[in-house]
Amino acid sequence: MTTIKELHGRRDFLKKVGLGTASLVVPQLLSCRTTPRPGTLYNEKYRPQFHFTAQKNWINDPNGLVYYKGEYHMFFQHNPFGINWGNMTWGHAVSGDLIHWRQLPNAIEPDELGTIFSGSAVVDWNNTSGLQTGKENVIVAFYTSAGEHARVPKPFTQSIAYSNDRGRTWVKYKNNPVIEHIRAENRDPKVIWHEPTQTWIMALYLDADDFLLLSSKDIKHWTPLQEIKLTGSDECPDFFELPVGGDPSNTRRVFWGGDGRYMVGSFDGHRFTPETDAIQSKIGTYSAAQTWSDIPKSDGRRIQIGWTKGKFPGMPFNQQLSIPCELTLRTFPEGIRLCRVPVREIKKLRTERYTWGPTTLKFNTDILSGISGELFEIQSEIELGSAAEVGFMLRGTPLVYYVADRTLFCRDRRAELSPVDGKIKLHILVDRTCIEIFANDGRASMFLSFSLDKVNTSLGVFARWGRARIENLKVWKLKSIWV
């Protein structure tokens, strides 16, 4: 039940954001329940079963992704009091495996500087900030104070909060903001540690398609380094290093924008030098993606998650996040490109498995006939042969590869995809409210957020106007992360 203390906290929150107490309501507040009660929470008609959603109300951008002592922390833009966007607060969830999430109480709430817009988080291993007070390393969160939404409107600025108890409680820095207004709605700070120069580097969105790099030695004081133009992109930058083809002696920096455009280049601690123009990385309802910081070197992965926009009629929640994905850089004829595949931990959800070796696909012959279910993972390699089209039927939704056009098509989304040695690979995830497609080991990816047909739970695979050949095909039914 809602306690008197919680009600007072809600009243204080509403006063801070200028809503007074007229909007004070008394619904059940956030529970940290990890296992839903049968037939109720997390089992609603359009509740995703292995994609993260808040227990209640609105979410959008993932924020503050950081790993510390066995836990992946995921903060997110959240409206604690409504089903639509507003009252931006940092919600909070943790996971030990990137798949099963436990929602915690909200972490950072609005104040006189504004509501809490997007940002990032790091572990300050060397206590450069001087904010550590106990035995635990301090985790520092960087966020935008959205002053236009304060009770007394003011410009957007950048602030920090910190935790000395493994992210369970957060204290705002007494001298916020740490970066005053620069221009427009400057926002969405992404901070990394640059080991060669022992310096913190921040990527900050400025305006239009302009971004800014800044540096700091102590997290509290920041100096501008360089403006960067990422043509056609805006908001939610990320800035990270990856080996090319897995070679640690050959690395590049990726400068990423919120709509999925990115540039590949180098960074010397002072200046980013692009080697490419802006490249569009994704197709579909996927935005504001961010990668986790502080994943141990023994793991070595760069893991990303994004917001997949959608509609969820009649549900107590609104919006969902993608499956976490591993990012790599690989070399193609057109140059170095970013690739994306689901994290290996998805295997934990697999139940029944169906497999096929080399099999010819013929018109009106479907080897998946008779398989039905709600949640699926599909991995396939298809030799195109003489077929004009190959693809899958995913609970009534067609996914089609047009051979002549070298184009992958699903609903209203298209992605260019060149075959390799006359073959294509498709890795597909099917949830109640989305389909995610990763082609040719992540060279192309598509994210489609929509409510799948509740009645049609069938699968199909096909070749049209010619024959194709399945080299290998694996289908798994998946279980919910909420049970």
> Would you name the residues annotated as active-site residues?
61
Residue whose structure tokens are 């236009």: 148
Q: What angle do CA 14, 160, 166 make, to 5 degrees?
A: 95
Tell me, letter by letter, the H, E, C secondary structure of the chain: CCCHHHHHHHHHHHHHCCCCCCCCCCCCCCCCCCCCCCCCCCCCCCCCCCCCCCCCEEEEEEEEEEEECCEEEEEEEEECCCCCCCCCEEEEEEECCCCCCEEEEEEECCECCEEEEEEEEEEECCCCCCCCCCCCCEEEEEEEEEHHHCCCCCCCEEEEEEECCCCCCCEECCCCCCECCCCCCCEEEEEEEEHHHCEEEEEEEEECCEEEEEEECCCCCCEEEEEEECCCCCCCCEEEEEEECCEEEEEEEEEECCCCEEEEEEECCCCEEECCCCEECCEECCEEEEECECCCCCCCCEEEEEEECCCCCCCCEECEECCCEEEEEEEECCEEEEEEEECHHHHHHEEEEEEECCEEECCCCCCCCCCECCCEEEEEEEECCCCCEEEEEECCEEEEEECCCCEEEECCEEEECCCECCEEEEEEEEECCEEEEEECCCCEEEEEECCCCCCCCEEEEEEECCCEEEEEEEEEEECCCCC
CA 477 to chain centre: 23
Q: Pairing relation of β-strands 320-321 and 335-342?
A: unpaired
Which among 183, 310, 212, 325 has a CA at the least distance from the CA of 260? Answer: 325
Q: Please tell me the distance from the alpha carbon of residue 419 to that of residue 402, in angstroms, as a whole number.
A: 11
Residue whose structure tokens are 């070749």: 463
